Amino acid sequence: MRMELRQSLRLEQKLLQSPQMIQAMQILQLTTPELLDRIQEELEDNPFLQSEAPEEGPAKSEEDVDFDIEGPLLETFRGEGPSSRDAPESIPDGILAVPAPDRRDTFSLMSELRARQTTENEMLAAEAILGQLDSKGFSSMSMKELADVHHLPTELFAATLKMLRQISHPALGAENLQACLLLQLETLPEPHPITEALVRNHYDELLANRLPKIARQMEVSLDELRGALEVLRTLDSRPIEDEFGDIASSIQPDLVFELKDDGSIKVELTRDGMPEVWLSESAKIAFDKAKTDERLHAFLLKKLERARWFLDAINHRRESLKRIAKYLAHTQSAFLERGPTHLAPLKMQEAADAIGVHISTISRTIRGKSALTPQGILPLKSFFSGGQKTDRGGSQSRVSIQERLKSIVEAEDKTAPLSDEEIVRILHERDGIRVARRTIAKYRIGLDIPSSTHRRLY
C-alpha cells in the first residue's frame, strides 16, 4: 500500500461562537428570577463585581460611569449605569366542581400529625400515603399495596388515611374521580340518594352526558336529575390543589405595559428584587497594584474580563427586551387596549426583520418571560400568533378566532348546542373567516370546550 501526503485548498464557512457570545445567549433567555440567581452566583465568584440593595419598581434611570483600566488584554471599559454598558376524565359542561376552600399541603399535614402525638408507625404510613399521591391528590396505590411495600399492617394504613382525611379533605387518596365524588357525598350533612346513585351506578353515562337515558334507567324526572347535578357542582374534582394551581399569582413579570391617559403605551422593565451591579472600584485598585505579580495579574485579568462579558450580556438582555417590548406596544396596541379579540397576527420573523435582529434573538429573548399589561399578566409569547385572512380583506389572529369561538359557544342555546360545522358556517357568514372544521375542533379542545354532545343541557 502506497502512502503519500497531499495538499489541497477548500473554502467553507464556520460559525465560531466566542465565550462572550455563548454567555450573552445564555443570559438573554433567562427569566427575571433565573437572572437574579445568576447575578448572585457571579457576585460571589467575581471580586470585580459589586452591588447594592435593589430599587423597587421599574428600572431607574442610568448614568455613565468610566473606568480607566490598563492591561495587556483589555481596552478602556465604559460602563453605562450601575449595571453595565448598556388528559383527565371528561365531565359534561357545568358539572366540574369548585376547588376546596381550605387546602393544605403535605408538609402542613405532617406537621399537624406530629402535633397530635401520633405514633412512629402512623407517621411512616402517613409519609408513604402522601408521597405516592399524584398532583390532584389521587392515590396510585391501594392501602394493601402500600402495606405490602412497607411491611406494615393494612389496618394501619387504612386508619392513617382516615386520619389524614379528617384533617385535610374527605376524598384525599381516592383512587379516581368517581371515588372522590362518592367520598364527599358521604360527608354531606344531608343524604342525597339520587346523586349518590347517579355517581355510583351511572358514572359512564354521566360522563357522556346521556341524561335522558339515565333518567329513564333511574326512573326519575329530568328536573330531579338536574337537582342531583347541582349537588355535584358543589363538590371538588380533586382532593388537593394542583402543584401549579396558583402559579399565576406568583409570576414575576419582566415588563410592564402601561396605558396612559393620552392613549399611548408606556413600556418599562421591572426591577423588583434585582440588585444593581457594576465594576468594583476596590477590585480595580487591587488589579492596578498587582501589575508586578505576573500570576496574580493574569488571574485578576481573567476575572475582570469575565465581569465585562457578564455586564455586557446583562445589558444586551435589557436592550433586547426593551426593543421587542416597544415594537409589541406599537404593533399590538389595539390588543393591549381592547383585549384578545383585537390581537393582530404577528410572526417572530416579522419582529426580527423590523428590529434588525435574527429570529433566534426574538425567540431567546421572549422565552419564559411575561408582561404586566392592561389585560393582565401575559407571556410575551402570547403576543405572537398566526393569522387567517378574511373575505373582507383583513386578517384575524388565531387568538382572536379562538375568542370569537368562545363567544359563539357562550351565546348558543344550551339545549341545542352548535356543532363544529355550524360554528364554521357562522364564522364565515358573520366574520368572513374561512376555517376548516378540524381547525375549529382543535381550537375547541385547546380551550377546554366540550363537544356539542357534552355541552347539551336537558
Pairing, β 255-259 against β 370-373: parallel
Residue 115 has a pLDDT of: 76
From 226-240, 323-337, 374-388, the region with the lowest mean pLDDT: 374-388
Q: What is the DSSP string of 256-322?
A: EEEE-TTS-EEEEEB-TTPPEEEE-HHHHHHHHHGGG-HHHHHHHHHHHHHHHHHHHHHHHHHHHHH
User: Is it the case that residue 84 has pLDDT exceeding 50?
Assistant: no
Residue 192 has a pLDDT of: 92
User: Is it the case that residue 81 has pLDDT exceeding 90?
Assistant: no
User: Is it the case that residue 102 has pLDDT exceeding 80?
Assistant: no
Residue 396 has a pLDDT of: 74
The answer to pTM > 0.75 is no
Q: Taking residues 38-61, what's their average pLDDT? A: 70
Residue 175 has a pLDDT of: 92
Q: How confident is the model at residue 159 (pLDDT cuts 50, 70, 90)?
A: very high
From 83-87, 396-400, 425-429, the region with the lowest mean pLDDT: 83-87
Residue 10 has a pLDDT of: 66
The whole-angstrom separation of Cα 274 and Cα 55 is 7
Residue 327 has a pLDDT of: 94
379 DSSP 8-state letter: E
The whole-angstrom separation of Cα 59 and Cα 266 is 13
User: Is it the case that residue 77 has pLDDT exceeding 50?
Assistant: no
Residue 398 has a pLDDT of: 77
Q: Name the grid cell of 114.
A: 406530629
Which residue did the predictor score with more confidence, 194 or 23? 194
Residue 46 has a pLDDT of: 84
The whole-angstrom separation of Cα 165 and Cα 147 is 18
Residue ranges with strand state E in 28-157: 49-52, 64-67, 77-80
User: Is it the case that residue 33 has pLDDT exceeding 50?
Assistant: yes
Which residue did the predictor score with more confidence, 102 or 391? 391
Mean pLDDT for all residues in the chain = 78
The whole-angstrom separation of Cα 386 and Cα 346 is 6
User: Is it the case that residue 171 has pLDDT exceeding 90?
Assistant: yes
Which residue did the predictor score with more confidence, 116 or 9? 116
User: Is it the case that residue 179 has pLDDT exceeding 90?
Assistant: yes
Q: What is the pLDDT of residues 335-354, one digit of tens each?
A: 899 888 788 888 889 999 99
Residue 241 has a pLDDT of: 59
Sole residue written with cell 434611570: 61
Residue 67 has a pLDDT of: 35
Q: What is the pLDDT of residues 290-318, one digit of tens each?
A: 777 888 878 888 888 888 888 888 999 99
31-45 as b/e: b if 16+ CB within 10 A: ebeebbebbeebbee
User: Sign of the CA dihedral 160, 166, 168, 174?
Assistant: positive
Residue boundaries of the structural domains of the chain: 19-85+251-380, 106-233, 388-455
Q: Taking residues 385-405, what's their average pLDDT? A: 73
Residue 18 has a pLDDT of: 64
Quote the percentage of the chain above a pLDDT of 90.
20
User: Sign of the CA dihedral 184, 190, 194, 200?
Assistant: positive
Q: Taking residues 165-174, what's their average pLDDT? A: 91
User: Sign of the CA dihedral 338, 339, 341, 344?
Assistant: positive
**Torsions phi, psi for 395 (to 5 deg):** -150, 155
Q: Name the grid cell of 450.
A: 366540550
User: Is it the case that residue 69 has pLDDT exceeding 90?
Assistant: no
The whole-angstrom separation of Cα 418 and Cα 412 is 7
133 DSSP 8-state letter: B
Q: What is the pLDDT of residues 268-296, one digit of tens each?
A: 988 766 778 888 887 778 777 777 788 88
The CATH class that applies to domain 388-455 reads mainly alpha
Q: Which of 447, 448, 370 is nearest to 401 (CA)?
A: 447
User: Is it the case that residue 5 has pLDDT exceeding 80?
Assistant: no
Residue 427 has a pLDDT of: 86
